[in-house]
Amino acid sequence: MARHSSIIGGSNAGRLINCPASHATLLALPPAANISSEYADEGTAMHAVMDAVMLRRQATSCTPFRMHELAKLQIGSKHHDRVFTQEHYETMVGPAIALLIELEEAYGGDFVVYGVEQSVRFPGVAGAFGTIDLILKNSIYVLHVDWKFGSGVGVRAVYSDGEGAIVNPQLMFYLAAARATLRGLYARRQTAVAIIQPRGDEPRTHTVVDPKEIRWFVEDVQNAVTTAIGRDPPRKRGEWCRFAPCKSICPHWTGPLLELAVLKGQDVDKQDPNTYGEYLSRAKALVDSLVMLKSTIDEQMHTYLEQGGTIPGWRLKAKAKMRQWVDDATVDRELKALGFRESEIWQDKLVTFASADATAKRLGVTIPEALRKAPPSTETTLATTDDPAPVVEPAKLMDQFSASLKLLKGAQ
């Protein structure tokens, strides 16, 4: 099999286009900096489950609704580095399948599986390949689906850059590569891309992509690769840096350390609302940058030490785990012997929101919002000025709390 390009791929396409210097910066890092994580490993395992389900769907030409049955058959089997459990099904795979069914219906239904983990070649860049999680087709559309199983930062198929709508660069990379590799598939069909992230804030996002956007993207990638391997490629910090390990040595990220030191050394008049507000705004931006930088440094330190490296002042220790009962039968027997009553050993409780939502999606029903109410709060939290949430005035907060409490009691 041909080796993938060391310069460009789906995961770093957006970063290379916006910051060509990131390629050289990554090359300056040791191999240990290119890390995996528990969340990435979990995502890989869930991808493997979805691959098994979709391959079975493709082989049997079953209806989309039977995918739930196919997924449940995987419970107890091992994928990647872990056993697939009922909880995995209820919180990730089951909701992902339900979202896929909705997506297919939104594009007219009657889809068949064309490719699972489909390898495709990007045009005009030697060794540049990509792998598409799922390709579906009907008589009108070719639908490209990317699974995301993280519960942290949400990933969208399309977003705004302040000037207009931008299709996710990773999806564009895969789409451009697919159209160049599987030309006959796209004859007389429109193309659409989608991200399904069952634990994200927006679990299903999708868009139709115009062919001219794909051509422009290919040109952008080819130009970015040429710039990246040239002399003094430009460097730019932005959202594309979020998952980039090169933050640990990038001057645009390490620079805030010096800026914060200078800022802390300045005399600030706390009685002057203008200067003090400006100080806090700048300090907050610098500290937030350092939090992201700390996460990257911590991950690279951990991986480096696990691979046998040494770091002055740091070492590894066993990670503490939460204690748990040995097994139900033994605990039940021993606690009863100590005088515990049945009700003091076993407690029933309602399922979690995530589990209930997964069941509702499988049944095709909607849980009434009245069943889930947020309690009134006297607390506040920080938000940027462009946040759509209502502005809270501290002086009025207690009045709002009292009114909300009355409404909540009245609904009981």
Q: 221 and 276 in one domain?
A: no
Verify that 148 and 277 share a domain, yes or no: no
Same domain, 259 and 213: no
Give the range of the structural domain holding residue 391, as residue numbers without chain letter: 373-412
Rounded CA separation 94/78 (Å): 17
Give the number of domains in the chain.
Answer: 3
Query: Given the structure tokens 């990647």, which residue do they identify?
Result: 80
Cα separations in angstroms, 17 against 21, 25, 254, 275, 386: 10, 14, 22, 37, 27
If asked whether residues 51 and 193 sit together in one domain, one would say: yes
pLDDT at residue 18, rounded to an integer: 86
Higher-confidence residue of 299 and 115: namely 115
**Does residue 1 have a pLDDT over 50?**
no
pLDDT surpassing 80 at residue 48: yes
For residues 5 and 126, is the Cβ–Cβ distance under 8 A? yes
Is position 165 within any domain?
A: yes
3-state percent breakdown (helix, strand, coil) of the chain, nearest 5: 50, 10, 40
Greater confidence (346 vs 111) lies with 111
Q: Pick from 108-117, 118-127, 304-313 the range whose average pLDDT is largest.
A: 108-117
- In this structure, the answer to whether residues 220 and 258 fall within a common structural domain is no
pLDDT above 50: residue 282 = yes
Same domain, 386 and 276: no
Closest alpha carbon to 115 in 80, 142, 75: 142
- Tell me whether residue 346 is in a domain: no
Q: What's the whole-number mean pLDDT along residues 25-47?
A: 73
Q: Are residues 181 and 116 in the same domain?
A: yes
Residue 176 is assigned to a structural domain of this protein: yes
Min mean pLDDT across 30-44, 76-90, 228-242, 344-358 is at 30-44
Lookup result for tokens 């089951």: 94
- Out of 198, 228, 258, pick the residue that ends a domain: 228
Average pLDDT of 48-68? 94
Residues 221 and 288 in one domain: no
Region of poorest pLDDT, from 81-95, 129-143, 270-284? 270-284
57-81 per-residue burial string, b: 16 or more CB within 10 A, e: under 16 = bbeeeeebeebbebbeebeeeebee
- H/E stretch holding 379 reads none
pLDDT score recorded for residue 4: 44
Q: Does 159 reside within a domain?
A: yes
Q: 102 with 199, same domain? A: yes
- 213 plus 269 within the same structural domain: no
> Is residue 406 domain-shared with residue 299, that is, in the same domain?
no
Please determine, for residue 184, whether its predicted confidence score (pLDDT) is greater than 70.
Answer: yes
Please report whether residue 152 resides in a domain: yes
Contacts of 171 (CB under 8 A, 6+ apart): 10, 144, 146, 157, 193, 195
51/161 same-domain check: yes
Please check whether residue 409 lies inside any domain of the structure: yes
Given 289, 306, 323, the domain boundary residue is 306
The pLDDT score that the predictor gives to residue 176 is: 94
**Assessment of whether the complete model's pTM goes beyond 0.85:** no
pLDDT band, residue 257 (cuts 50/70/90): low
